[in-house]
Amino acid sequence: MMKKIILLCIVQAMLLTGCKAGAAASGQSPEPSAATIFSMDTVMEVTAYGAGDGLMKKVSSRIKELDAALSTTDRASEVFAINALGSGKVSDDTLRLVKYGISFGEMTGGLLDVTIYPLVREWGFTTGNYKVPDKSVITELIKKVDYRNIRFDEEASTVSIPEGAMIDFGSLAKGYTGDVLLKMLEENGISSAMVNLGGNVQTLGTKPDGTEWKIGIESPGRDGYIGIVPVADKAVITSGGYERYFKGTDGNIYWHIFDPRTGYPAKNGLISVSIVTDTGIYGEALSTSLFVMGLEAASEFWRSHRDFEAVFIMESGEIFITGGLENRFKVAGTSAGGGLSVIRP
């Protein structure tokens, strides 16, 4: 079911952004080329205007290469080897993500922690065996979660972790992949492109006609969009509790975004956080960590940084946007009607 939902969202996003094959069919605009691939447990769509089949094949190969290195469940991946053996020699991509993980961990006070995997696995989000673990188990697993315990040797290209610790780049890998793909396209002369990596939307330049891309913010738990943001050369990254979840035997809903401080899914009134910023990896790190923070702390984080914008959707249906989106974010027809408020400096 989740794959079907993702596919539907991609089709809708393509329509919103004007990326259908006929959209650039004027004599002066380049023709679009598209690549669709299932990787990192989601459907990925790359559309580039003026790119040939050869370049799009390279794009697809690069996605597969990154997935092969960064997967937590692929027994042949670099991350799997580190988790199983406690150390390993890694590629430049994996080493960069380790460094990003440590950096974002420091920036967010540990609310973005790439060593969260022991908890994610215990709750069943990678195995499919969903369950609410005993509190005693969670207490023990939390002791293994601390990004500060990761060690790396840049010269030797090695990474090591303590016994029982495990790395999971699920909060960074798609954003990093989007950044890599856009750089690849730009280096090959492409100036207009969009990548949709299972909800992570990143754009290169504007559409061929010079207008901005219109990116839809999905309406949590409903079909369609709750709002639209026009962007150029930006990433729009969303983390939502409605994306992956299960219903426990206690009747409660548990989703895949964890609070490293408690070992439980973050529960603070937020249902969705979308970040608008320059790079995918920064947007993805923030969408996860600000979701964990909750609206009040996330608002203060924005006020102190001011290098991104955000859309916060509450379980109540209320929408909060940061000041830079005040005259840009447009509420769509599927809004839950909870009202729109602006977070100001």
By residue count, the chain amounts to: 345
Quick check: 151 and 161 in contact, CB under 8 A? yes
* C-alpha to C-alpha distance for 45 and 174, rounded to whole angstroms: 12
Q: What angle do CA 128, 133, 135 make, to 5 degrees?
A: 165
- Cα dihedral across residues 322, 171, 142, 250: positive or negative: positive
* C-alpha to C-alpha distance for 138 and 140, rounded to whole angstroms: 5
Average pLDDT over every residue of 7-17 = 39
Reduced to 3 states (helix: H, G, I; strand: E, B; else coil), residue 106 is helix
**Would the pLDDT of 4 be above 60?**
no
Reduced to 3 states (helix: H, G, I; strand: E, B; else coil), residue 63 is helix
Quick check: 139 and 119 in contact, CB under 8 A? no
Average pLDDT over every residue of 176-191 = 98
**Would the pLDDT of 10 be above 50?**
no
* C-alpha to C-alpha distance for 345 and 266, rounded to whole angstroms: 26
**Would the pLDDT of 169 be above 80?**
yes
Nearest to 213 by CA among 190, 230, 194: 230
Nearest to 238 by CA among 183, 200, 202, 265: 200
Mean per-residue pLDDT of the chain:
90
Nearest to 186 by CA among 194, 197, 174: 194
Q: Which residue has the tokens 């069919």?
A: 25
State the helix-helix crossing angle for 280-293 and 92-107, rounded to 10 degrees. 40
Q: What angle do CA 79, 82, 86 make, to 5 degrees?
A: 160
* C-alpha to C-alpha distance for 271 and 258, rounded to whole angstroms: 13
String of DSSP letters for 115-151: T-HHHHHHTTTTTS------HHHHHHHHTT--GGG-E
**Would the pLDDT of 321 be above 60?**
yes
216 pLDDT band (50/70/90 cuts)? very high
* C-alpha to C-alpha distance for 159 and 166, rounded to whole angstroms: 12
Nearest to 320 by CA among 331, 310, 330, 306: 310
Per-residue exposure over 331-345, b if at least 16 CB sit within 10 Å of its own CB, e if not? bbeebbeeebeebee
pLDDT score of 334 = 52
Other CB atoms within a 10 A radius of the CB of residue 146 amount to 17
Q: Is 84 exposed, middle or buried (0-12, 13-18, 19+ CB in 10 A)?
A: exposed
pLDDT digits (tens, 9 = 90+) for 232-263: 999 999 999 888 899 999 999 999 999 999 99
30 pLDDT band (50/70/90 cuts)? confident
